[in-house]
């Protein structure tokens, strides 16, 4: 885990370094373009009439091609985004809450068999998968066609609640809630269409994110609570594959799918858990403007 977190952090630093070199690259590109124009002008001067006609035809169609390419680019500068999705949390301490619920149920069963009156106690079970629908907002700076850096924050909430009935048909509610406020830094790398693309489609990108859990991240339940510690070194990472579905009037719609690994610790002496994980598989839709 420490090695992976270090690798993701270095990748974010690489994105910053790439952004710093973009200005130099643009200057070199302008110089090369001037040289090409000069060379082409000289060639036209000594060419025959047919060659000049061909050159004019190429020049006339070039703006159309450039316009088509520009229409699929993300414009440089500051952009904002909001995303909503579904995440299947790989909550590694779920079985402990299942065991606590079973303990409550066995107590009611024991009470029933000690004095078999009323009805047999009934228990609901917690879901085997923790599903949440995270909401995220943020901003990114587009340095070039291929690279961007961003910063975002969101909320993650998962409530697992069940009902247990005793022999007197009384109901007892038991639950545990996963609540988190993740903050993340993001680096986006566009995948070259020569490597990976769809016919007549848009392009793919890889998103690498590094996460910190903000204060307020916690677990609270019928058996106790646990507040997360803030770790300045971070709590985990995420790797996502994104695809831009549509672009219209400065708005773009993205789809993303990826994996997160988020380790959280609590140093509260009365905490019901000292550590847990909120990683898993995530699917989301992002609107950027």
Examine residue 51 and state whether it is found in any structural domain, yes or no: no
Q: How many angstroms separate the CA atoms of 119 and 112, rounded?
A: 8
Examine residue 212 and state whether it is found in any structural domain, yes or no: yes
Whether residue 150 has pLDDT greater than 90: yes
pTM: 0.73
Mean pLDDT of 163-190: 95
Mean pLDDT of all residues in the chain? 79
Examine residue 72 and state whether it is found in any structural domain, yes or no: no
Examine residue 164 and state whether it is found in any structural domain, yes or no: yes
Examine residue 9 and state whether it is found in any structural domain, yes or no: no
3-state class (DSSP) for residue 234: coil
Per the structure, the complete domain to which residue 104 belongs is given by 77-288
Whether residue 207 has pLDDT greater than 60: yes
Task: Provide the pLDDT for residue 12.
Answer: 53
Examine residue 66 and state whether it is found in any structural domain, yes or no: no
Q: How many angstroms separate the CA atoms of 272 and 261, rounded?
A: 21
pLDDT band for position 211 (50/70/90)?
A: very high
Whether residue 210 has pLDDT greater than 60: yes
Whether residue 175 has pLDDT greater than 90: yes
Asked if 240 and 194 count as a contact pair (C-beta separation under 8 A), the reply is no
Asked if 178 and 161 count as a contact pair (C-beta separation under 8 A), the reply is no
From residue 44, how far is each of 6, 36, 108, 134 by CA, in Å?
Answer: 55, 12, 95, 60
pLDDT band for position 194 (50/70/90)?
A: low
Asked if 252 and 209 count as a contact pair (C-beta separation under 8 A), the reply is no
User: Which CATH number do you get for residue 98?
Assistant: 2.40.160.20
Task: Provide the pLDDT for residue 45.
Answer: 34
Examine residue 54 and state whether it is found in any structural domain, yes or no: no
Examine residue 13 and state whether it is found in any structural domain, yes or no: no
Mean pLDDT of 73-85: 88
pLDDT band for position 195 (50/70/90)?
A: low
Whether residue 176 has pLDDT greater than 50: yes
171-180 and 182-190: which strand pairing?
Answer: unpaired
Task: Provide the pLDDT for residue 170.
Answer: 92
pLDDT band for position 11 (50/70/90)?
A: low
- Long-range CB contact pairs, 138-141, < 8 A, 24+: 138/80, 138/81, 138/184, 138/186, 139/78, 139/79, 139/80, 139/81, 140/78, 140/79, 140/80, 140/81, 140/186, 140/188, 140/288, 141/19, 141/77, 141/78, 141/79
Looking at the 3D structure of the chain, how many domains does it have? 1
Tokens read off for 109: 């069963």
């Amino acid at each position: 885990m420490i090695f992976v977190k270090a690798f993701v952090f270095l990748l974010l630093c690489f994105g910053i370094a790439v952004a710093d070199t973009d200005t130099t690259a643009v200057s070199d590109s302008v110089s090369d373009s001037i040289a090409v124009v000069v060379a082409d002008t000289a060639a036209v001067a000594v060419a025959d009439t047919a060659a000049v006609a061909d050159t004019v035809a190429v020049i006339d169609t070039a703006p159309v091609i450039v316009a088509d390419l520009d229409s699929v680019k993300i414009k440089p500068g500051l952009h904002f985004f909001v995303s909503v999705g579904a995440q299947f949390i790989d909550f590694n301490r779920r079985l402990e809450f299942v065991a606590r619920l079973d303990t409550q149920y066995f107590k009611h069963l024991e009470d029933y068999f000690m004095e078999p009156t009323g009805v047999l106690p009934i228990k609901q079970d917690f879901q085997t998968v923790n599903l949440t629908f995270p909401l995220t907002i943020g901003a990114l700076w587009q340095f070039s066609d291929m690279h961007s850096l961003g910063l975002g924050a969101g909320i993650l909430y998962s409530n697992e609640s069940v009902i247990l009935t005793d022999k007197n048909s009384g109901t007892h509610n038991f639950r545990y809630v996963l609540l988190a406020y993740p903050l993340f830094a993001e680096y986006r790398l566009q995948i070259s269409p020569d490597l990976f693309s769809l016919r007549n489609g848009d392009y793919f990108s890889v998103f690498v994110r590094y996460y910190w859990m903000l204060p307020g991240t916690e677990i609270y339940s019928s058996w106790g609570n646990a507040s997360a510690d803030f770790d300045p070194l971070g709590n985990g990472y995420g790797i996502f594959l994104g695809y831009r579905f549509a672009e219209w009037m400065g708005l773009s719609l993205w789809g993303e799918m990826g994996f997160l690994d988020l380790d959280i610790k609590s140093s509260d002496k009365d905490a019901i858990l000292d550590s847990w994980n909120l990683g898993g598989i995530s699917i989301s839709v992002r609107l950027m403007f």
